Structure 1
Amino acid sequence: MKETSVRDHKRLLLIDDDPNLILLVKDYLEFRGYEVITAENGREALEVLELDIPDMIICDVMMPEMDGYALVQHVREDARTNWIPVLFLSAKGQSQDRVKGLNTGADVYMVKPFEPEELVAQVESSLKQVSRINLRPSKGSETGPKLHVPPEVELTPTELKVVQYVARGLANREIAEQMKVSQRTIESHVSNMLGKTGLHNRTELARWAIESEMA
């Protein structure tokens, strides 16, 4: 029972344009207790992500319509999905290929052909890491005074997006680049949110977003 605890109710999104590999990996992961949803390319995967947020993404790199690199960029830029661990599967095993994959935003890079047991081990390791990160907000609340924010505070959709980036640790300049607006505009949004919430700085704003499960 202890061995399967990490797998309980975990949903994995598997993306590959090779139907044989999809069948093989899906069967193996389901046999090990995971729920697996599939897509044939990055474009189809984005459609899946509009409706369903998996616990992890396992993705081929070279695919038609949208490759793994482009997909991961979309995943990392969306506040709904940027926390999801991504494992790249690729036939390209050169050092520069691995570096590019990890720099693009993948958490793990595995080269085909691979041992199914190693894939499961990497999946479990990534899911455990996410679980550890998710424990941080409750611990973080002990490191500072309790935040007192009026319960009726309402953020605009743009403010919500900005505060999610703040919670991820991005500077105003980086947020401006992501949202394609001026840094002054981002500073104005942050200032407005501090006024609405009565908080004192960006650190408290980030804590509030995390503790309120906005991030």
Structure 2
Amino acid sequence: MAKILVVEDDKQLRENICEQLQLDNHQVRTAPDGLRAFEVLPFFSPHLILCDIMMPQMDGIAFIRAIKRHVNYRTIPVIFLTAKVAQQDKIQGLEEGAIDYLSKPFLFRELSLKVKNITSHQTEFLLQELEQATGEKPEIQFVKLFSERLELHLSDPSLTVEKMAGEMNMSLSALQRTIKKYLGRSYIDIVKDYRLRKATSFLIQTDYTLQQIADKCGFSSLSYFSYSFKEANGLSPLRFRQHHQVRADLP
């Protein structure tokens, strides 16, 4: 089962795609355009995004450019859904970072197979990298265990890679190689991104003070939390919370 975000402005098609993916046992969230999709991302970390190109407010090209610039989302693969079939349009999408196209109208069987192939490849790739890094038969539960340890030690600002290696019963070098090869980023960046995602949820869903959120998410100081959050999201934690409170109050 994969987590998939469907970004499509046609309500009927959006619902049909969602239904088909759910029948394939995937977890699905939807959005009618790129702007609304960005509001979903802090609460839903998809393995794959299916995105229309021609949409109001923020079209598919603008959306993929935005996610490729964002430290938390730039590694998520994107498949474009489009009625635009000109070769130049396809080349532009691929240049922006899309991994594939589905031309409308498409068969849902084709959609299912493409999603299956991409998400299965991601799992197989992880297992291959784990096997190369550890020299042992990889365990499918690695990612789950790693996430559980991050959550367990969320408030610990001293969650070093050495400590995590001990938690994972892996050597330091094996853990570093595994994370680097699979995610293409350092352990420090991954932990920081995880903490920022949790902080985003706290800002929107709770009335915790900024200091409480900084403490709960393992930031060593409020100033470091504020700096890191603004660097990643373009807004200070306070401005981000105010922005979403205003949107929530709109009819």
> After TM superposition, is the score higher than 0.5?
yes
Please say if residues 85 and 127 of structure 1, whose CA atoms lie closer than 8 Å, have aligned partners that are also in contact. no
SS at 1:81 equivalent? coil
- Aligned-pair distance for 1:76? 1.6
Which residue pairs with 1:46 in the alignment? 38
Matched, 1:33 2:40: no
- Whichever structure has more helix as a proportion of its residues is 2
Matched, 1:111 2:86: no
- Aligned-pair distance for 1:133? 3.4
Matched, 1:212 2:187: yes
- Aligned-pair distance for 1:116? 0.4
| 1:174-196, Cα deviation, whole Å (9 max, x unpaired) | xxxxxxxxxxxxxxxxxxxxxxx
Matched, 1:121 2:113: yes
Residues of 2 paired with 1:139 and 1:126: CA distance? 20
- Aligned-pair distance for 1:140? 5.0
Please say if residues 84 and 103 of structure 2, whose CA atoms lie closer than 8 Å, have aligned partners that are also in contact. yes
Which residue pairs with 2:74 in the alignment? 82
SS at 2:28 equivalent? strand
- Aligned-pair distance for 1:139? 4.2
Identity %: 30
Which of residues 93, 107, 110 in structure 2 aligns to 1:101?
A: 93
Residues of 2 paired with 1:213 and 1:110: CA distance? 36
Letter in 2 for 1:87: I
SS at 1:96 equivalent? helix
TM-score, structure 1 normalization: 0.62
Residues of 1 paired with 2:180 and 2:89: CA distance? 35
Which residue pairs with 1:65 in the alignment? 57
Residues of 2 paired with 1:17 and 1:59: CA distance? 9
SS at 1:13 equivalent? strand
- Aligned-pair distance for 1:142? 5.2
SS at 1:47 equivalent? helix
Question: Structure 1's 139 and 114: CA in aligned 2 closer, same or farther, altered over 3 A?
Answer: same
Q: How big is the alpha-carbon RMSD for the aligned residues of Structure 1 and Structure 2?
A: 3.1
Structure 1: segments with no counterpart, 5+ residues: 1-7, 144-150, 155-202
Residues of 2 paired with 1:126 and 1:55: CA distance? 9
| 1:77-99, Cα deviation, whole Å (9 max, x unpaired) | 22221221111000001111111
Alignment size in residue pairs: 154
